[in-house]
Amino acid sequence: MNIRLVIQQLGLLLLLLCLALLGVTAWGAIEHFTSQPAAGTSIEREWVGLVAEWVTVGVGLALGGSMWWFARPRDRRPAVLGRREALLLVALGWLLGAAVAGLPYFLWAHLERTAGPNHPFRSFMSCYFEAMSGLTTTGATVLSDIRAVPFGLLLWRATTHWLGGLGIVVLFVAVLPSLGVGGKKLYQIEAPGPAAQGVRPRIRETARVLWLIYLGLTAAQIVLLYLAGMNLGDAVCHTFATLATGGFSTRDASIGYYNSPLINWIIIAFMLLAGANFGLYYQLLRRRFRAVWTDPELRLYLAIVFVGCLIVCGALVEERLVSTTGDDVEPSIAAAIRHGVFQVVSIQTTTGFCTADFDLWGLAPRMTLLFLMFVGASAGSTGGGIKIIRVLIAFKVIVAEVERVFRPNVVRTVKVGRQPVDPELRLGTMVYVLALLLVFAVGTVALMLIEADKGIDVVTALSASAATLNNIGPGLNLVGAMRNYGWFSEPSLAVMSLLMVLGRLELYAVIVMFVPRFWKSE
């Protein structure tokens, strides 16, 4: 394995991440010098956040730069990024990226006097968890008092979502000099879904087209949210969190803070857009409407959302609704529909925004949400979970297998849309789903064992494992809509950080590092 090349590219990736952070500080600085302090925050605190970010940029540039310099190729031959190097680069890129992305939180908590010795960000593991939660677009937070954190850091927190949504490595492929075939390998490892096909023949073009679509959607949502009454900072942060299907909010009550149906519906619409395959938008731009409309994954996606909304809204009409602000919602059918649809779309797309405390809901809607956590969003979207297309393939394979029991001699092809699914993908899909369930079970047991002395209940452990592995954010009970992950011990936060990156990179890129044969030269 060409470790030098991996280290060198890793250095470049860090440099890129630091540039993004530097960009974020620009706005923080403007905020510092111009704004009035918002409620609960002070201009001085904003300044401490800026310092923390600048120190991180310095550290990151030094580290990334030296990695890039010392690991530069010794000879002039073009470096070849093989499959194993690509896997290692992606996995290490995420693991190391989260460490750098979490550093500003850690520095801030140690520089800021008012943060106090019990502030979650005093522990580096908590900061790492928060940064990993950001980059993997999970949206699980350790913070209980979000408004005490300066705007500059909240903007960075939202930006980690936005960068991680389409993939930090895909961004890297899009903007940096081509790695030849290597870029395609990187793209395939990081892009969600079983068969990541490029929308354009050349992978750099694909990455660029996807980022342009992403930028367009981002601009559109920011404008709409601003027009609907959000201030610009919140509009940007929530847009980043929506389109990446992340879920970090700048408010303790999440979207529930804005008691505005218009804002809710705008976010619902953009969550739905973010949970669909981005390749479809490229098809739309090229006016291939028929291809979009007949896409089997899109149809199933909308159908599942629709059925989920029916079940949940139906159950909510009769029920007492409590907003995430803690206030009772005026009972009406419109409110039941709005809050029901919001929560279903938020969980299904693995965003994790909340407007209502769904932990108070009945068993049927809560079970529906737990089920949707595993289904997840579409392949090629920014969302997590098993992915709709895999659920579809797995279902069809199971049906075919049941039919084989009573008609063993009929040769059957499993089709998705008009495309036959080849046997390798059939097996691969079943293996993936089973492996994900195994990781989920292991994660649950690990959390229960680590937190045994706190007497963590099964529902909390199950849903924390599911919500981090599937990159959702909130779970049930002690990690529910009104709670956070700050009370977990450091080993649990480490386990869940691992679950998040396992889920985001679809298991294999991380798992292979534990296989001895991966490290042996061929």
| Interacting residues toward a copy of itself by CB under 8 A | 83-84, 87, 362-364, 367, 394, 397-399, 401-403, 405-408, 423, 426-428, 430-431, 433-435, 437, 445, 448-449, 452, 457-459, 462, 508-509, 511-512, 515, 517-518, 522
Q: Where are the alpha helices (DSSP H) in 317-387?
A: 333-348, 363-375
Q: With residue 410 as reference, give the H or E element that holds it.
A: none
Query: Roughly how many angstroms between the first and final C-alpha of the chain, as a whole number?
Result: 9
At its nearest, how many Å lie between a copy of itself and the CB of residue 430? 4
The C-alpha angle 450, 360, 225, rounded to 5 degrees, equals 95
Residue (of 320, 409, 381, 399) closest to 506 by Cα position = 381
Residue 223 or residue 438: which is nearer to a copy of itself going by CB?
Answer: 438
Q: Which is nearer to a copy of itself, 189 or 213 (CB)?
A: 189
- What is the C-alpha to C-alpha distance for residues 428 and 511, in angstroms, rounded to an integer? 15
C-alpha to C-alpha distances, 411 to 22, 404, 421, nearest whole angstrom: 59, 9, 14
Give the Cβ contact number of residue 368 at 10 Å. 24
Return the number of the residue (175 or 307) whose C-beta is nearest a copy of itself.
Answer: 307
**Cβ of residue 374: shortest distance to a copy of itself, in angstroms?**
9
Taking each continuous run of H as one helix and of E as one strand, the counts in the chain are 21, 2
Please provide residue 411's backbone torsions phi and psi, each rounded to the nearest 5 degrees.
-80, 130
* Nearest residue (CB) to a copy of itself, 19 versus 370: 370
Q: How far is the CB of 346 from a copy of itself (least distance, A)?
A: 21
Q: Is-contact 57 25, C-beta < 8 A?
A: yes
- Residues 319, 362: Cα–Cα separation, whole Å: 8
Minimum separation from the CB atom of position 29 to a copy of itself (A): 44
Nearest distance, CB of residue 446 and a copy of itself, angstroms: 10
What are 236's two structure tokens?
């940007």
Q: Which is nearer to a copy of itself, 70 or 518 (CB)?
A: 518
Residue with tokens 């602000």, as numbered in its chain: 325
Tokens of 317: 């009409």
* Greatest Cα pair distance in the chain: 76
Closest separation in Å from C-beta 207 to a copy of itself: 21
Q: By C-beta, is 30 or 427 nearer to a copy of itself?
A: 427
| Shortest distance, position 444 Cβ to a copy of itself, whole Å | 9
The distance of closest approach from Cβ of residue 434 to a copy of itself in the complex, given in angstroms and rounded to an integer, is 6
Is the separation of the CB atoms in 419 and 224 below 8 Å?
A: no
CB of 452 to a copy of itself, least distance (A): 5
State which H helix or E strand residue 42 sits in: none
Q: Which is nearer to a copy of itself, 63 or 502 (CB)?
A: 502
> Helices (DSSP H) in 35-123: which residue ranges?
43-70, 83-111
Q: State the nearest-atom distance from the C-beta of 84 to a copy of itself, in Å.
A: 5
CB closer to a copy of itself out of 334 and 452: 452
**Is 310 or 427 the residue whose CB approaches a copy of itself more closely?**
427
Which ranges of 71-193 would DSSP assign to H, the alpha helix?
Answer: 83-111, 124-135, 151-166, 168-175, 181-190
Between 223 and 437, CB nearer to a copy of itself: 437
